[in-house]
């Protein structure tokens, strides 16, 4: 069975008016749609049978422009932090009455005993930092910062 690590967070939906007439699609709307598609980050490894899909407009550009560069953190540091963040994330998924179910939609299947490699841990860690800063959330005892 294939292990999947999914993070599908906050797909922005355009507010539609009450009018029934169809408006022509502008180039501005097309650009927004293209940006949303390009902001989907997918990391997969067939050998380890895992996949991460991050859907959050703005994350891909944030990762390139604001996150610390790859190699800044050790893999052990990233794994430790990711484990803490995943545990808290999954607890929030199970409590939709207490935490916004639109933010915490799906459980993350992250096993600390599996070596996912540096890239996966790096991108997952940075997504947690991005998420906490963007949505003013706190997933652990650490203040999210870059």
For residue 145, being part of any structural domain is answered with: no
Question: Per the domain annotation, does 146 fall within a domain?
Answer: no
Task: Report if residue 93 sits inside a domain.
Answer: yes
State the pLDDT at residue 133: 93
Q: Is 51 left (phi over 0), alpha (psi -120 to 50) or beta?
A: beta
Domain membership flag for residue 59: yes
- What's this model's pTM, rounded to 2 decimal places? 0.71
Q: Out of 1-10, 52-61, 104-113, 114-123, pick the least confident.
A: 1-10
State pLDDT tens for residues 128-145: 999 999 999 999 888 887
Q: Do residues 62 and 56 touch, judged by C-beta distance below 8 A?
A: no
Q: Which one has a higher pLDDT value, 113 or 144?
A: 113
In a domain, 20, yes or no: no
Is residue 73 in some structural domain? yes
Tell me the mean pLDDT in the region 85-113. Answer: 94
**pLDDT tens-digit readout, 30-54:** 444 444 445 677 766 666 677 778 8
Domain count, the chain: 1
User: In what order do the strands lie in the sheet containing 40-45?
Assistant: 5-8, 50-55, 40-45
Q: Taking 80 as the threshold, does the pLDDT of residue 76 lie above it?
A: yes
Q: What is the 3-state secondary structure (H, E, C) of the chain?
A: CCCCEEEECCCCCCCCCCCCCCCCCCHHHHHHHHHHHHCEEEEEECCCCEEEEEECCCHHHHHHHCCCCCCCCCHHHHHHHHHHHHHHHHHHHCCCCCCCCCCCCCCECCCCCCCCCHHHHHHHHHHHHHHHHHHCCCCCCCCCCC
100 inside domain: yes
In a domain? residue 144:
no
93 pLDDT band, cuts 50/70/90, is very high
Phi/psi for 50 (5° steps) reads: -135, 160
Q: Which domain, by its residues, includes 31?
A: 5-12+26-135
């Amino acid at each position: 069975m294939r292990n999947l690590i999914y993070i599908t967070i906050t797909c922005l939906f355009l507010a539609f008016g009450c009018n029934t007439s169809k408006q022509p699609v502008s180039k501005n709307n097309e650009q927004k749609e293209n940006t949303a598609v390009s902001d989907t980050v997918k990391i997969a490894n067939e050998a380890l049978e895992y996949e991460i899909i991050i859907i959050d407009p703005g994350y891909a550009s944030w990762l390139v422009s604001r996150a610390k560069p790859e190699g800044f953190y050790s893999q052990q540091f990233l794994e430790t932090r990711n484990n803490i963040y995943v545990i808290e994330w999954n607890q929030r998924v199970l409590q939709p009455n207490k935490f916004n179910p639109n933010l915490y939609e799906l459980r993350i299947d992250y096993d600390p005993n599996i070596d996912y490699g540096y890239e996966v841990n790096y991108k997952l860690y940075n997504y947690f930092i991005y998420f906490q800063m963007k949505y003013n959330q706190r997933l652990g005892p650490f203040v999210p910062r870059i």
